[in-house]
Structure 1
Amino acid sequence: MARVRHDRLDCSPGCAVEATLQFIDGKWKGVILYHLLSSTLRFNEIRRRLPSVTPRMLTTQLRELESDGFVARKVFPEVPPKVEYSLTERGRSLEPVVMALKAWGDAHAGVAAKAA
């Protein structure tokens, strides 16, 4: 199902925040972006770093990140096929956001688990 995206970002004071979150929502997108910050990775390298993700879900999340301009997909003409994923400049611009989410999670995720 296609996600509804904002056409304009002037609808309310929090609208830009909502629009930004819509780009990186999805269970795996933030983690994919985090791993691609360190290097260019092949599909199976990403799968090894995310053992709980199914190949279909990983493909879907990578395609959405690519269509939104955050991830570049490079296909090498060889057998077997080789595909590499890397961040675009737009994807790299999310580094402070992703690292802030990581820092917050490092500080608070354990606290939430203990409270539950």
Structure 2
Amino acid sequence: MSEKVDTTAECPAEAMLKSLSGKWKPQILRLADEGTLRFNSIMKVLQGANKQSVSVALKELEEEGILSKTIVSQKPLHIEYSLTEKGRGVIPLLLNLGGFAQEHGSAKDVK
């Protein structure tokens, strides 16, 4: 007989997926993998994004330790975002997930 599983305990993979999912997060991580980012450069690339949703995504990725935020005091004063060590470790996972999706279709197609 199998043991009952505590469904209230969060699986580490589930927690990581939650921290990586959300509006604009995968796209921001893809851009950050190419180099240091500034807010305005992100906004130029993400067609249809609004400032509020991108700001929230950046803040959450920073809080999760995936992105680091640096205030650059050179004129003009600006903020730069870059991947942390944890963030660099996440990139291969996203690439593998993307490869799986290309090979097998979307999650609703996987049986």
Q: TM-score, normalising length from structure 2?
A: 0.77
The structural deviation recorded for 1:80 is 3.0
Is the contact made by 2:68 and 2:82 (CA closer than 8 Å) also made in structure 1?
yes
**Structure 1 residue 103 corresponds to structure 2 residue 71:** no
Aligned length: 100
Amino acid corresponding to residue 54 of structure 1 in structure 2: N
Provide the residue aligned with 2:85 in structure 1: 89
2:53 aligned partner = 57
Cα distance, 1:14 vs. partner? 7.7
Q: Is this contact kept in 1: 2:38–2:79, CA < 8 A?
A: yes
Hey, what does 2:71 align to over in structure 1?
75
Q: CA offset at residue 72 of structure 1?
A: 0.7
Q: Taking structure 1 as reference, are residues 106 and 49 closer, same or farther at Cα in structure 2, changes over 3 Å only?
A: farther
Structure 1 partner of 2:37? 41
Identity %: 33
- Cα displacement string for residues 42-79 of structure 1 (whole angstroms, at most 9, x for unaligned residues): 11111112122101111110011001100011111134
Residue 23 of structure 1, aligned match among 19, 22, 25: 19
Give me the CA root mean square deviation: 2.1
- Deviation larger for 31-40 or 85-94: 31-40
Query: Which protein has the larger Cα radius of gyration, Structure 1 or Structure 2?
Result: 2
TM-score by length of 1: 0.74
Distance 2:63 2:23 in 1: 17
Task: Tell me the distance in 1 between the aligned counterparts of 2:26 and 2:77.
Answer: 26
Structure 2 residues without counterparts, runs of 5 or longer: 1-5
